[in-house]
Amino acid sequence: MDGKTQIRPVQTTCHLRAYQSEALTAVRDAYRAGKRRVIVSLPTGSGKTVVFAHFPRVLKMKKRLLVLAHREELLLQARDTFRSIDPEFQTR
C-alpha cells in the first residue's frame, strides 16, 4: 500500500480495526488494478467476515458475492454480519 489511500467505511455500528482497514484497502487497490481473485488471510477471530462484508459497498460491486463455509452456522453468522453493516443486504 502507498500509505495515501484512505478507506471511508460505510456508516455502520461496526468499527473497523486498523488491520481490517488495511486489508480492505489492499483488496480495493487490487480490485481497482483489475484483479478479481483476491485472498485475505487473517488469524482466527480477527474479523475476516467483517472485512468481506464491506466488499460490496467499498468495491462498488454490482454482481453477486459468493460465501462458502463448511458449517451452516458460519453462513448464518456471515449473513448477520452483512445485515449489520448493510440493512438492505439480501441473501438467496
pLDDT digits (tens, 9 = 90+) for 12-43: 456 889 999 999 999 989 988 999 888 889 99
pTM: 0.72
The 10 Å CB-count burial string (b at 16+, else e) for 54-63 is bbbebbeeee
Q: Which helix (H) or strand (E) holds 79?
A: helix 72-85
Which residue did the predictor score with more confidence, 75 or 86?
A: 75
The share of the chain scoring above pLDDT 70, in percent, equals 85
Query: 6 lies in a domain?
Result: no
| CB within 8 Å of 46: residues ≥ 6 apart | 19, 20
pLDDT at 13: 54
Domains in the chain, number: 1
Query: 66 lies in a domain?
Result: yes
The pLDDT of 42-52, averaged and rounded, is 91
Query: 58 lies in a domain?
Result: yes
Q: What are phi and psi of 72, to 5 degrees?
A: -60, -35
Query: 62 lies in a domain?
Result: yes
**Domain boundaries, position 79:** 18-85
For residue 46, pLDDT over 90 is answered with yes
- Residue of 47, 44, 57 whose CA lies nearest to 7: 57
